Structure 1
Amino acid sequence: MKNMNPERSAGDRERTAEGAEGGGRKDDDGERKASSELNFVLFTAVVVVCTHFPTMMAATSWIVGGAYKWNLPSKPNFYEEWTKGKKFAVNDSLWFLFEDHKHTVVKATKEVYDTCNTTNIKGDFDLSWFINIMDKPILRYYVCTFHCKEGHKVRIDVKES
């Protein structure tokens, strides 16, 4: 609540009003600038989301092995059977979920996939999960370096969406 002193002159009141008004203009300019920057950020975010929305909506996230996840298979062709009937496409993601230090997952060549000779594979992928976003149509191979010979490997045929 403003304290209006009747003894103040009209000129004092005008100067006080001008001072408040001038300060208000600075605040208004700052608020307009912040509002403008926020609008730009929001607009940019909307454009990015709208541009990528069809791609994001079309992509599928696959947990390799389904409910069984990336564990030592009960039969050697388990993961081969798991892939049957599935349509893996560009921009889909593969999630390999497993217990720490009990399994690994590495991208492999066809030769490594076929022979399970993992001695020359570099990398340490035993962190309980691994995500791979498939960015191009290609036949991909993944193996567990501990249990490849027991069938702990998968071949993913990625197609155009």
Structure 2
Amino acid sequence: MRRPLSTEPTGTSSDDSETEADKTKREFWESVAEEVSSRSDTSLGPVSSGSSYHRDQPTPLQDSIIRLSINTQKRQISVHLLIRDDWSLFDHLEDDAEAIEAELGTEIEWVPPDRTNSSKERCKVRLTRPINLDERTDWGEAVKWIVDRGEQFHAVFDDRLAAY
């Protein structure tokens, strides 16, 4: 005879704490939220804390977002324009890659749906940089980078998406 489900062990106890990766992500997003809220003229919306690997920012086009991400396994942060189910929009933007990269001041990675690791039809335009997760004192530059690049992505892509 089994005991009632409500008394079954859950595999975690109430004194288990968050994983180190979750703590890192939460602290990183707290730092990003502080940086965003300190800027009076930012194009980024509020950034919540928490242990998720990404924070999404709306764009003028419903099927696209600007995603700020941290990957604790690869030890990198990134800013993406994520386009859902629209190859033609990706192609349209990629045709303007030279001008877009000139406005951003750097080359970016153009990832068509057949090169993503998603089962969904998604395209990405991505900029990535490494982060030293062990040295919280080094995070200031990384936090500034992700906020600056998020704002740049809005400046470069929002008008193009609105006009599409």
Please give the TM-score of this superposition, normalised by the length of structure 1: 0.32
TM-score (norm 2): 0.32
Which structure has the larger Rg?
A: 1
